Amino acid sequence: MVSADFSVHPGAVFSEAIGNDRLDRLTDYPFTRLANLLSGITPRANTAPIVLSVGEPQHPPPAILDETLRANSAGWSKYPPVGGSPDFRAAAGDWLTRRYGLPIGLLQHDRSILPVSGTREALFMLALLAVPSSKAGRQPAVLMPNPFYAPYEGGAVLAGAEPVFLPATRETGFLPDLDALTPELLERTALFYLCTPANPQGAAASAAYLARAIGLAREYGFVLAVDECYAEIYLDRPPVGALQVAAGLPQAAGDTPWANLLVFHSLSKRSSAAGLRSGFVAGDPVLLGRFSRLRSYANAGMPLPIDAASTALWRDEAHVEENRRLYRAKFAAAEAELKGRYGYYRPDGGFFLWLDVGDGEEAARRLWTEGAIRALPGAYLTRSNPGEPNPGAPFLRIALVQDAELVGQACAAIVRILG
Ligand SMILES: Cc1ncc(COP(=O)(O)O)c(C=O)c1O
């Protein structure tokens, strides 16, 4: 497929008076940067490209997806409601209750669940919901791990906040160090994005970590957004979730257990259905009420056939178990080639490898040139803090989205090419 080219050409006349200058503070999106890095290079290897750059699972989604879409095709002619159907909210709520062992009835389906057309747009848009014009008399801060999912930064910057990049290195357990956050920063924090299991490092936050993050959100009055879109891709133990932790925290009578907390879940990874554009946000009913108002101005609701197909997918576990079996085989294939190299470790969840290859951009160029393998330089997922080198520069992100045999071949080629 030939991609659209919306790059701004040198010499193009662009009047600053008509543009949003905040957009200029963002770099190109990571995949645009990768396309630029590799453009003009024809791979030497006479093989089909192996795409390990995009987190787009390649197993087919289960048959119930197509079947349900077809059975609900009458819905294409209707404008869908922003809040989704009661059936969708019940399926998502029942799934959360089962998956995280929540007390039955604690999560109110009609107040605590909002469907979204993929979590990317919702994570971006959340910043418009959460960032006030000032906080503690200063420019609000939006905290995020470094490396991070690009829409967190996009949302923060477009909402007029200062994005603050928190080191999430091997030394910090690949998650931000909550003890390193100063009261000065927390007071002006409007929103904190956390990702567990993390993309790209795969670290899952512990219950104690999540409890502390929720406590900070309540103490300092900010929104804690926990991006759990990889929650269902794990090898051994299911990662704990933020709602599960919040349900066990002490609370005053009449308070919602979900105060200040929103979690994000998606079918893109769980059901290998990235093209369906289906996810939901759950948690604090007050925030979700305001989010729903914001979304009714900015977003169309989830199309009704997609709402129905998503409902069926959240109710089915068999295909998710089969998915995990496939990922276990991929990790075994990768591990056989990479164990003991490039700082390889088995992540707690997700399907990425975060490999220390010395120079991620150079490695990506060589893998494409010599092996027709596309992988993402870590530096495209990280920012440098002032005066410091880019912490992602030595890394390469590999998405184990192809089948196990191809993953094994690609990993063997990585070792052959990078040494
Ligand atoms: C960390 C993270 N969050 C959210 C998403 C968004 O997924 P979707 O918009 O398909 O729900 C992705 C997709 O790659 C991701 O990596």
pLDDT single digits (tens) 344-370: 999 999 999 999 999 999 999 999 999
Residue 314: pLDDT over 80: yes
Q: For the packed helices 86-99 and 304-314, what is the interaxial angle rounded to 10 degrees?
A: 20
- Measured in Å, residue 136 CA sits from the centre of ligand 1 at 31
* 55 pocket-lining for ligand 1 (C-beta < 6 Å): yes
Q: Tell me the two tokens of residue 284.
A: 């604090």
* 274 pocket-lining for ligand 1 (C-beta < 6 Å): yes
* 272 pocket-lining for ligand 1 (C-beta < 6 Å): no
Task: Name the residue of 230, 266, 270 to mutate for ligand 1: max ligand atoms within 8 A of Cβ.
Answer: 266
Q: What is the pLDDT of residue 14?
A: 59
> In whole angstroms, what is the distance from residue 327 CA to residue 396 CA?
20
* 97 pocket-lining for ligand 1 (C-beta < 6 Å): no
Burial class (CB within 10 angstroms; exposed 0-12, middle 13-18, buried 19+) of 248: middle
* 266 pocket-lining for ligand 1 (C-beta < 6 Å): yes
* 120 pocket-lining for ligand 1 (C-beta < 6 Å): yes
- Measured in Å, residue 104 CA sits from the centre of ligand 1 at 28
* 271 pocket-lining for ligand 1 (C-beta < 6 Å): no
* 284 pocket-lining for ligand 1 (C-beta < 6 Å): no
What average pLDDT does the segment 120-135 reach?
97
Nearest atom, ligand 1, residue 56 CA: 14
Residue 256: pLDDT over 60: yes
* 227 pocket-lining for ligand 1 (C-beta < 6 Å): yes
Residue nearest to atom 5 of ligand 1 (CA): 120
Q: What is the pLDDT of residue 344?
A: 96
Percent of the chain predicted with pLDDT > 70: 96
Q: What is the pLDDT of residue 113?
A: 98
Q: What is the pLDDT of residue 2?
A: 59
Q: What is the pLDDT of residue 385?
A: 85
What average pLDDT does the segment 107-128 reach?
97
- Measured in Å, residue 5 CA sits from the centre of ligand 1 at 23
Q: Tell me the two tokens of residue 66.
A: 């197509």
Q: Which of 5-9, 66-70, 198-202 has the lowest mean pLDDT?
A: 5-9
**How many Cα neighbours within 13 Å face the side chain of 156?**
27
The pLDDT confidence band at residue 11, using thresholds 50, 70 and 90, is low
Q: What is the pLDDT of residue 59?
A: 87
Task: Name the residue of 264, 269, 270, 271 to mutate for ligand 1: max ligand atoms within 8 A of Cβ.
Answer: 269
Residue 5: pLDDT over 90: no
* 199 pocket-lining for ligand 1 (C-beta < 6 Å): yes
Residue 234: pLDDT over 80: yes
Map tokens 């080191």 to a residue.
167
Global pTM value: 0.95
Q: What is the pLDDT of residue 258?
A: 97
Q: What is the pLDDT of residue 241?
A: 98
Residue 15: pLDDT over 90: no
The closest alpha carbon to 101, from 209, 247, 282, 313, belongs to: 247
The pLDDT confidence band at residue 1, using thresholds 50, 70 and 90, is low
Nearest atom, ligand 1, residue 277 CA: 10
Map tokens 């390469």 to a residue.
396
Residue 7: pLDDT over 80: no
- The sign of the CA dihedral 180, 183, 185, 189 is positive
> In whole angstroms, what is the distance from residue 137 CA to residue 170 CA?
35
Residue type for 245, please? V
The closest alpha carbon to 400, from 355, 346, 350, belongs to: 350
